A and B are shown apart, each in its own frame.
Chain A
Amino acid sequence: MSASRPLVTLAAGALVLALSACGLSDDGAAADTPGEQVLRIALADPEASLSVQDYTTSSFTVLDQVFEPLVRYTADGSFAPALAESFEVSPDGLTMTFALREGVTFTDGTPFDAEVARTDLLRWVEDPDNSFLGLTGVTESIEATDEATITWRLSQPYHSALNELALTRPVRFTSPEAAGEPVGTGPYRVESLDEQQIVLVRNDDWWGGTPSLDRVEFAVIPDAAARVAALQAGEVDVIGGEYTAPLALEEAAALEQADGIEVLTTESTTNLLLTVNADTGNPALADPAVRRVMDLAVDRPGIAEGLFEGRATAATTVFPANVPYGPDPEAATAADPAAAEELLEQAGWTGDGVRSKDGVPLELDLVLDPGLLPQATSLSQAVADQLGDVGFEVTITPLDSTAYGTTVSARDFDLRFYNTYGAPYDPYSTLTANFRSVQEGHLFASPELDAQIPAALAAPDEESRQAAFDATWTTLEEQTAAVPLVQLPRQWAIRDTVEGFELGATEYDLPLSDVTVSG
């Protein structure tokens, strides 16, 4: 009998320890006061801090509640006033004048005026880390002409200036007194932030009126399946969004059948591409015929239907047609393996099995980070099969995020997937950052694109601008700068107790000042 006592003691001790430890975990769920309007949104990744002054915070939709820009991008590609009540670009395109909204204060009470705005603008405009933003290169001067006017002079016309001013990081305004704390002018301010949740509360002094919600709680749920379950169980009200809590396509289909849940789907402005490393990858990729063949061999409609459950649409151009000055849409056609093989024969790539030319085999390494795109693994297998059918051999290398970033930055790969940035960056920023040889991390570059892209951005009027962009689209297609795959939809899901919820103009924005929650 006595010998079993240690066992019992051990078990009893463990039980006491477990039960006592339970008590400490209750503070995670703050009790909601009855009658309070609280919206709970899932967030995939915790944030250590919230800042628009650098690139460390990637929860854009959280930042959007707290920090505001001069102008906001709208769904039709035009701009709406935000902290600038009105704005004007001179006919020569060299002077931008912003009339600032008066009486705006940061949530710490600091007034937002022209001098504060000017200092905060210069913070990022003068920082070489932000060179991917064209404004850093063409800004001549930023002046506070009076208390409520900013006059911005440029050395040359720069068409996407307003797009850049509508971005989240690094351009939105932080209080000069913030000292590292997240203090902006937006409809909500930060109450608390930890690894489990970010709690925002209403900014009663917001210039845009009284926001409808008392609190917005972003609950960190890293696992995609757990997010769907949390929505179904009513633990959160909203999931989805590329930069918030991504909702997988196949899960959206199941959620549409679920009671009390509404799935919101809209067209995105981003295309998923298969990009080729023509500079330092397999020398075969420098042959335009090989790239053209890849374009012919990939079965886009099949991928859109089979892998993305018909929720994605086949992409035929590098940029989707719905970006400003976008390319004309083309009808997607199924793969043409016969034409692809014929083209390879003509270009001298011959042999049974894996084709080769001058001792260079068509062996390609496709690197991917499954964390970036849930369908990456199945998509890579489909692409490898389709290219395999016409004489390529594609090796798939899955990597974690750090290894992927390292490999991509070292340009030590042949193929990878890439999502274009989407509005409000596109087409300007994706073109500038990814298709010019001066950018170290470019996807593809050629002398033609090096000349055409700056020309398009500096074009003085609508007509010449459209013509310059059209020339760029033609080059991207003729040179097969990338193999377009599909245009993925923007997907969110909400509980039917949420009213007035509308998707932002971009995946980086989420307007919540008019949302209410019933029941």
Chain B
Amino acid sequence: MSGARALSRPARTGLLLLLGVVAIHAALIPLGPGGMLVPPDLLYCLVIAWVLRAPDAPPVWLLVGLGLAADILLSRPIGLGALGLLLAAEVAGRNRASLRGLPFPAEWTAAAIGYGLILAGIYAALRLTFAEAPPPYDLLRYLVATALAYPLVALAVAWGVRLHAGERTSPRERPT
């Protein structure tokens, strides 16, 4: 294929790693600790938007590593967020061909539904193991914040990063 102008596979992996770290880091900014603000899960948006646009799926270790780092650093229940991210990315990757043909609102809805399922799964797991679960209202706001952030992240991924050279050739080369 015409891979000469697109990023190579190691470069894509490195770039996703870098953007993932930035996404985790952005949630840590103390804009109003304890206040009403709920930060969106940018890592989920990034990974889903990336998987739907990249020519192949990112490596499993990268998804697990990023998900675990987010779980640990963002004080979420450890393991569940990473599991949800991994499964969502895999499901999105397997249905890439059909999802890519859809108009953007459909992709957006699918991403939001996916995140809703992840949060519902986490909530159920916390309840089943008698752990403290946040009130569903908070999780709903988390879902809304993430859904609102998705188009922006998807735009950034589609526009800023030339993932595949198929339909669009990038004017500038990006070595890293």
Q: Do A and B bind each other?
A: no
